[in-house]
């Protein structure tokens, strides 16, 4: 408090400076009895660069945590959200739990964008079968589906040589083992074909929250998140999106329809 007061008093534009003749003072005083008598002095530490500063902060948090100090009694104060990104990444790599407030539009984050892309495809196919080919090709490159890039290239070449052939019908043929294409992971494509058919059925018969939960569990997304280096953050993002879909399902569905 004394240090904060000393810093504030350097502000020459304070109104209290114009009222000194009245004998008025504004001094910060700790209201809590437990802290009012503490004689702790702030410690100023300088670092050659931001990277070393971030590493030091994380190491101090880790040491205190391992010594049994409660994490909910620690805090990092920063001016801008971009200043904390690297520290949060380091905390996640070390498995140190944290709670951070971020103002982000989760709808534009890659993981949610991919989910919305999948929902767009289902909506398009529901309206008119085989009309979402352009979306299906984009879906094949989603990371949590884990479809080999070499197989996508093989299928692209195959489709270029075929007339009246679609991505969806080709994937269905793979799922039914009716093709002789030499793919690196045919089982992955068979699973993807089965997932698409099931998801299309669920789109017709389930509410948006139920549909999303099934997609997350069956598509490989949940497994992808659990093994990701940013597991904590991605889990928070996914939970927020699910909550949004439960509280504002019509708004989410309308946004998907507009994107289509």
Radius of gyration of the chain (CA): 28
* Tokens at 243, concatenated: 């909550």
Distance CA 237, CA 11 (A): 41
Burial class (CB in 10 A: 0-12, 13-18, 19+), 178: exposed
Residue pair 218/198 in contact by the 8 Å Cβ criterion: yes
Question: Is 106-259 assigned to CATH 2.40.10.120?
Answer: no
Which H or E element spans position 212? helix 208-218
Q: pLDDT by residue (tens digit) across 69-110?
A: 999 999 998 887 778 888 988 998 888 988 877 677 888 889
Kindly give the interhelix angle for 50-66 and 85-93, rounded to the nearest 10 degrees.
Answer: 40
pTM of the model: 0.64
Residue pair 169/190 in contact by the 8 Å Cβ criterion: no
List b or e across 33-47, with b for residues whose CB sees 16 or more CB atoms inside 10 angstroms. Answer: eeeeeeeeeeeeeee
| End-to-end C-alpha distance for the chain, whole angstroms | 56
**Please, where in the chain does CATH 1.10.486.10 lie?**
106-259
Chain Cα centroid distance, residue 102: 11
Residue 51 reports pLDDT greater than 50? yes
Q: pLDDT by residue (tens digit) across 131-185?
A: 999 999 999 999 999 899 999 999 999 888 887 889 999 888 887 776 778 888 9
């Amino acid at each position: 408090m004394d240090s904060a007061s000393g810093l504030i008093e350097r502000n020459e534009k304070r109104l209290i400076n114009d009222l000194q003749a009245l004998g008025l003072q504004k001094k910060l005083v700790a209201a809590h009895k437990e802290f009012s008598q503490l004689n702790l002095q702030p410690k100023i530490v300088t670092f050659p660069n931001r990277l070393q500063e971030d590493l030091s902060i994380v190491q101090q948090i880790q040491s205190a945590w391992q010594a049994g100090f409660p994490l909910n009694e620690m805090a990092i104060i920063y001016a801008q959200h971009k200043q904390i990104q690297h520290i949060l990444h380091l905390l996640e790599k070390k498995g140190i739990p944290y709670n951070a407030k971020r103002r982000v539009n989760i709808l534009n984050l890659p993981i949610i964008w991919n989910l919305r892309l999948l929902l767009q495809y289902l909506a398009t196919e529901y309206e008119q079968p085989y009309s979402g080919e352009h979306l299906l090709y984009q879906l094949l490159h989603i990371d949590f589906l884990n479809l080999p890039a070499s197989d996508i290239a093989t299928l692209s070449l195959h489709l270029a040589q075929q007339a009246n052939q679609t991505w969806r019908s080709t994937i269905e043929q793979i799922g039914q083992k009716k093709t002789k294409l030499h793919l690196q992971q045919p089982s992955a494509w068979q699973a993807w074909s089965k997932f698409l058919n099931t998801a299309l059925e669920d789109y017709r018969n389930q509410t948006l929250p139920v549909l999303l939960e099934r997609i997350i569990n069956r598509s490989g997304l949940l497994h992808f998140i659990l093994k990701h280096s940013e597991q904590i953050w991605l889990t928070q993002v996914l939970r927020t999106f699910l909550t949004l879909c439960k509280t504002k399902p019509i708004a989410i569905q309308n946004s998907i329809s507009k994107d289509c």
